A = this chain, B = another copy of it.
Amino acid sequence: MDEFSLIDTIFSRLTTSGSPALGLGDDAALFSPPDGYDLVVTKDMMVSGRHFFSSDPMDLVARKLLRVNLSDLAAMGAKPLGYLLGLAFPDKLDSGLATELSKGLLEDQKEFGIALYGGDTVSGAGKLVLSLTAIGYVEKGQALRRNGAKPGDLVFVSGTIGDAALGLKCLLGDCPSDVALVRRYHVPVPRLALGANLVGLASAALDISDGMIADLGHICAQSRVGMRIEARRVPLSDAARHMLADTPDLLRTVLTGGDDYELAFTAPPENADAIKAAAKSANVPIMDIGMVEKGDALIVVEEDGTSRAWGAGGFRHP
């Protein structure tokens, strides 16, 4: 099977006919963005052995690739339009692998109301390398940024924190396996509705991909502020709570582990009620876990009241 047949037989069905983009028969994809909006574009890559296991179900790998990109759109308050896929096969074109990937993409396209706009397929990369560019739109000048947090703002996170990192530990055999935690690692949920609802309310936002502490550190660095976070207020799933009861040291994994794809955001206290309503309307639980402060210190107050400073990279200062 050559590249053209692969596109015809497998990927062309991902360009829904109702979509604003052309099919895959032209040099590039064409779409009509809604007038009066800013466009938001993001690109994330995943490499076999680094970002996923070669033994992982490939439909889940494709869904995670799409979802981590959609999560970046959510973090900016944007609604998704479509995406381009880059697929580098380890050896030669592999229609079985492409079929598995496309199955996952099709499932998630339907869930998120988007379509494949175009892309490229190459071979001989040695490892499976996936690249995805997602495109969305947001009210002009209203995108959520990382640089707007002000001292006195509240710090919020959505959902529960640390599940994906604990799920990865399960997969690596470091913990007893837990289906719910592994699921959080394999299939993150981009918080698109919440992100869109936060436009005009949040002062800064991002998605938690590097780990909660490291990502809050990114807001601190871009906004030139510090934060004081209360560890006991960080929302945990039942599965995570259970695991921490057995192994309290895993709190560090929870606070610094990546791949949650929850939103972390700041907002002035007077917006707190509107923020709660926005979260409720998006059907996503949120929790205020701390406060933005002057300075550049990221402080975590532990359960016993001890305050510790963390570096922006998510590593604790010695």
List chain A positions with a Cβ less than 8 A from chain B: 2, 4, 22, 25-33, 35-36, 38-47, 49-51, 71-73, 75-76, 78, 84-88, 117-127, 129, 131, 133-136, 138, 140, 143, 145-147, 206-207, 218, 222, 313
Contacts and interface: CB of A to CB of B under 8 A. Distances in A.
State the number of copies, please. 2
A42 B50 CA distance: 26
B41 A29 contact: yes
Nearest to A122: B45
A41 B122 contact: no
A28 B84 contact: no
Given A50-B124, A126-B125, A145-B26, A118 B88 contact: no
A70 to B, nearest CB: 10
A86 B28 contact: no
Contacts of A135: 41
A7 to B, nearest CB: 12
Contacts of A121: 45
A313 B124 CA distance: 21
A26 B131 contact: no
A39 B32 contact: yes
B31 A41 contact: yes
